[in-house]
Amino acid sequence: DVKVTQSSRYLVKRTGEKVFLECVQDMDHENMFWYRQDPGLGLRLIYFSYDVKMKEKGDIPEGYSVSREKKERFSLILESASTNQTSMYLCASSLDGTQYFGPGTRLTVL
Amino acid sequence: GIQVEQSPPDLILQEGANSTLRCNFSDSVNNLQWFHQNPWGQLINLFYIPSGTKQNGRLSATTVATERYSLLYISSSQTTDSGVYFCAVERGQAGTALIFGKGTTLSVSS
C-alpha cells in the first residue's frame, strides 16, 4: 500500500525560528512535491523535485528552501518563520502521474 | 497557465441523494485526478482519469478531454462522503506538479 508520511501533524513555532518539515515515501517514487493550503486560495505549489539533489521552484517559493539527499525523503525548510507562513503543508509523491499525499502538517507561527 | 474551475463551490445533501460535481479546465491536459479531502485534512486519491470513464463503488468519474471537462458522480451519498472534493490537472509531462481547482465542499446530513 502507498505510504507518504510527514513528521508532524501539528506544529507551533515562533517568528524567526528555523523550521524543518519532513516527508518520507516508501514507494521508490522519483517525484516529490510540497504544497501549502490556505482558505480561499486552495493548494499552491512551493517546490518539487524530480530526483535526488534536484529541486525546482513552484509558484510560491519565497521564504522556503528544500532538501532531497535521499530518494525517499524531501524536506521543506522555513529559514526564518513568519506569521504569514501559518498554513497547512502537504507533501506528495508520484511516479507515473498519480500523486499520493501525506496527512499534512498544520503549522502555526506565533 | 491552465485554469481549473470547479462547480458548485458548496453542496448540501441528505443521505441517500445523488450528486454531480464538475471540473472545467482551460487547456488540454495529460492527467486529471479527483481527490477527497477528509475532515482531518488528508487528501485521498479517488480517480486518475485523463479521459474516459471509471467507477469505484458508489463513485464514478468521466473526463471528456476534447471538451475540457470532468464529472464526478456520487450515488447514494453517505455522511462519510462529506469533505472537500478537488479536481487537479498536470501542468506538463506526466509526473509533474498538479494545478488544483478551488474544490467543492460537500456536506451530507443524516
> pLDDT confidence of A93, banded at 50, 70, 90?
very high
Q: Does the pLDDT of residue B95 top 70, yes or no?
A: no
Q: What is the mean pLDDT of chain A?
A: 93
What single string gives the DSSP state of each residue in A9-76? SEEEE-TT--EEEEEEESS--SEEEEEEEETTTEEEEEEEESSTT--EE-S--TTEEEEEEETTEEEE
* C-alpha cell recorded at residue A59: 509558484
Query: What average pLDDT does this structure show over B48-75?
Result: 96
Q: Please tell me the distance from the alpha carbon of residue A66 to that of residue A57, in angstroms, as a whole number.
A: 9
Q: Does the pLDDT of residue B108 top 80, yes or no?
A: yes
Q: Please tell me the distance from the alpha carbon of residue B12 to that of residue B27, in angstroms, as a whole number.
A: 30
Radius of gyration of chain A (CA): 13
- Where on the phi/psi map is residue A53: left (φ > 0), alpha (ψ -120 to 50), or beta? left
Q: Please tell me the distance from the alpha carbon of residue A96 to that of residue A86, in angstroms, as a whole number.
A: 31
Q: Please tell me the distance from the alpha carbon of residue A91 to that of residue A9, in angstroms, as a whole number.
A: 12
Q: Does the pLDDT of residue B94 top 60, yes or no?
A: no
Q: What is the pLDDT of residue B93?
A: 65
* C-alpha cell recorded at residue A22: 519532513
Q: Does the pLDDT of residue B14 top 70, yes or no?
A: yes
Phi/psi at A26 (5° precision): -110, 25
Q: Does the pLDDT of residue B110 top 60, yes or no?
A: yes
Q: Which of A37, A99, A104 sits opposite B98 (nearest CB)?
A: A99
Q: Which of B30, B45, B100 sits opposite A98 (nearest CB)?
A: B45
Instruction: Give the rounded percent of residues in chain B with a pLDDT score beyond 70.
Output: 96
State pLDDT tens for residues A96-105: 778 899 999 9
Cβ–Cβ contact B83 with A under 8 A: no
Q: What is the mean pLDDT of chain B?
A: 93
Residues forming a β-bridge with B83: B106
Chain A stretch 62-91, residues whose beta carbon is closer than 8 A to a beta carbon of chain B: 88, 90
Q: Which of A42, A45, A92 sits opposite B102 (nearest CB)?
A: A42
Cβ–Cβ contact B100 with A under 8 A: yes
Cβ–Cβ contact B5 with A under 8 A: no
Is the distance from CB of B1 to CB of B97 less than 8 angstroms? no
Q: Does the pLDDT of residue A84 top 70, yes or no?
A: yes
Query: What average pLDDT does this structure show over B78-92?
Result: 91
Is the distance from CB of A89 to CB of A35 less than 8 angstroms? yes
